[in-house]
Structure 1
């Protein structure tokens, strides 16, 4: 065991002690965070407009601060991006994180000098939690790779601006800098495919021990490594590779293929970072769920997803949540986001401590016929059948078909790129449909009532989703394929790729 690995174990024990305080005092820490945020921002433009000086309770806050998405908060954010100070948070942001919005075009999310360190601390603590629980620390002595966006930053009104992963690259702790790959020059390559090829060349002979990134793009990296090494498994290319860190999408649809590429069942850590804040991370290999970060400058609110689009939905804080209920996640942050609808849906799987799983996107659902099918349901239905039948799913998306050929019932159309296709496609589709009916009673009723016919699966050609994402200018980085849509914008683009 090397010096860094040996030193990391007592440090991990110290951090675990701090996390235990978080685990046991979550509601109190959230109340403390609430008070601190309101006090800090009371003299900002937003604070003045919303009477922060008169807010003393959460009920006061709900009366004066509405829930807003990015587009609704944009008048304030536009003032920030033009260089105005003290708009949402004191002073100017340290950074603007540039993200792609579905309705707003490019979005600029403020990151303050107070919120930036929380991103780094949470990522560090995810690794230290793993070390403390498992005793496995050897990975810190070898090479670590973070598949991320370019660290080259632009400026907007004097504020450094770039992708979140590129911003974070400037804050990697010094003790990891010598271990980190790829090199700065390679990391700066904008074209994702050229970048992956360069990373392969730079790392194929290195002692890679930890690999981190969004699963589909890590899979691309693994595939190209295998190609240039005459079909070797990742375990044979990197014999000391022991830990995979992922986030951004649900790992389960990718797990089987990833582990096939690697050559064994690898330990993994799921993280839940967003430009708006680092929300949660997996703190145990034994327990389900991600530990909610309750003392990181974020005050959370929750709206039941079935009420989200109501005029006056229920809006609660952490102390009033229920287990196994889907909520839309609302953030109030030390970067100046207030009543901000992140767009994600989550579910609590534990209150002691508070742990969540990400279940989908509030706008990524299908309810063309009143069924309100969500991402968690389609992923679980598909993967439960795929795992039973030995079917390898590379990627997929689902859309409603509301205008079928004359005389046919409408249906859900699933576009799937298979690695290993089902032996009996019709039986596979029927099994997935039955699994979905068991998960969603409204969908069951529509099938039973002959309002919908069972789902239809369209098998897609190899590399369809890579080609699609390339055509949209969204290949690699933090970009993800939407799994669900209530329209056919993506579906119609994929028609030409059907086998």
Structure 2
């Protein structure tokens, strides 16, 4: 295997030297839009919105914005995507091969996103670009001699009554791996096809000593539980006792920082954490530089992006898009600006609101960080708390108390007097004494709007502490255990009440 590691590392070095200068971001994005429009011009969606005429325009981006409305999932699904199960050439040529069920962090049920062969190709293309960027990280050759463990959702996809295969996007990706991936991919397709989360992780723990894992990919909460289970089963001090070549962890799905301390605690040697923006709607960005957790936007891989300012120009006081928001292109955004991401893709998504808020960290090349979900914006009584501000306060609270708080949930609820308070549920080993008062102080100091709300309509906050086992049991009870499942950080009042009842 040593010769393979040398060859791969040498290949990355050669690729880095041969790479030509990248296209100007604006040019790259205009080319992506033209390619998408050209491929879909004869679909029902393309004919209805005049894709062929848009392509003839001197300014196709402006024409596209004028002719095609911005859509959320409910609009795209009810008007277009649902028809693709019975008819071909609706929003993309042919029929989709799969439907990806999203993890459902927002909304009442999981979404079903069409997945085409071309779309799966974009996933591989962005993944290849990410691998090529590893040249700059100066990893040892031993990493390239080892295996990759991908903790996905089940690769045993469901088949609906019309013959379409459905599952979470990570499971769809794994089910489409070519057979030669078995050389380095773990846990392998047989274990990945186990539907029950606990059974799958137990099988991974059983086989772990037989593997030489150098890299792991998956959502932090579930990867951490898996590694802890392996350590417990084999009575290890840390995970490097069994996998000494483990050097890279590719995170994604949620912010990593609330997990960093727990990952450090189970590792015997430092690991490099790479962030990825891999959603049901696309592999949108990836870690590009060893000096930053910012992610490089995939501008030349089958996606066209637009950006709506996450402020008075684009959203209302609750974080919902305005009826006529300001829409910007890649050449119009600013470093430090926060934007709602709008996506068009070769899965037949057109000006689609993913629901994520991003911030640009640099423009050359364009690199971003995810700062939250539009639905994770808590503003029932004017508190204007973004996910990023809440994460920051939770991290400070954990550090002050010498512990960790991996997950949290919060909702604006009415107390017995009919007045609004913020009800928090924290996943931690800390005692609840004094946490509410200190969290309140941290939020006041971090956000003046929150401080104003606390002096008026927001009458207080309450904190309930639960264990990781209770939290995992809650997710299991709601069928959201494992895989690509992410925490619904900001809840509606009724969901918070259901969580509190479950805890009780």
TM-score relative to the length of structure 1? 0.92
RMSD over aligned CA atoms reads: 2.3
For 1:344 and 1:18, locate their aligned partners in 2 and report how far apart those are by CA, in whole Å: 35
TM-score relative to the length of structure 2? 0.91
Alignment correspondent of 1:69: 72
Instruction: Kindly indicate whether residue 109 of structure 2 is the aligned counterpart of residue 105 of structure 1.
Output: yes
Alignment correspondent of 2:130: 126
For 1:290 and 1:20, locate their aligned partners in 2 and report how far apart those are by CA, in whole Å: 20
Native 8 Å contact 1:213 1:246 kept in 2: yes
The alpha carbon displacement at 1:34 in A equals 1.2
In structure 2, relative to structure 1, the CA distance for the partners of 1:445 and 1:20 (3 Å cut) is: farther
| Deviation by residue 1:193-215 (Cα, 9 ceiling, x = unmatched) | 11111111011343222121111
Aligned residue runs from structure 1 range 151-230, under 5 A: 151-155=155-159, 157-172=162-177, 176-230=181-235
Range 145-154 or range 58-67, more displaced? 145-154
SS in 1 for 2:449: helix
The alpha carbon displacement at 1:287 in A equals 2.5
SS in 1 for 2:450: helix
Alignment correspondent of 1:340: 352
Instruction: Kindly indicate whether residue 404 of structure 2 is the aligned counterpart of residue 404 of structure 1.
Output: no
The alpha carbon displacement at 1:18 in A equals 7.3
The alpha carbon displacement at 1:158 in A equals 4.7
SS in 1 for 2:335: coil
For 1:171 and 1:132, locate their aligned partners in 2 and report how far apart those are by CA, in whole Å: 29
Alignment correspondent of 2:393: 381
Alignment correspondent of 2:318: none
Native 8 Å contact 1:15 1:125 kept in 2: no
Alignment correspondent of 2:306: 301
| Deviation by residue 1:177-202 (Cα, 9 ceiling, x = unmatched) | 21221132211110101111111101
SS in 2 for 1:328: strand
In structure 2, relative to structure 1, the CA distance for the partners of 1:250 and 1:15 (3 Å cut) is: farther
SS in 2 for 1:319: coil
Alignment correspondent of 2:471: 465
SS in 1 for 2:350: coil
SS in 2 for 1:115: helix
Alignment correspondent of 1:430: 437
Q: Which of 141, 144, 158 is residue 140 of structure 1 equivalent to? A: 144
Q: Which of 238, 244, 249 is residue 249 of structure 2 equivalent to? A: 244
Native 8 Å contact 1:205 1:237 kept in 2: no
* Structure 1 runs not aligned, ≥5 long: none
For 1:263 and 1:481, locate their aligned partners in 2 and report how far apart those are by CA, in whole Å: 28
Instruction: Kindly indicate whether residue 89 of structure 2 is the aligned counterpart of residue 86 of structure 1.
Output: yes
The alpha carbon displacement at 1:70 in A equals 1.1
Alignment correspondent of 1:444: 451
Instruction: Kindly indicate whether residue 375 of structure 2 is the aligned counterpart of residue 363 of structure 1.
Output: yes
For 1:490 and 1:263, locate their aligned partners in 2 and report how far apart those are by CA, in whole Å: 40
* Structure 2 runs not aligned, ≥5 long: 316-320
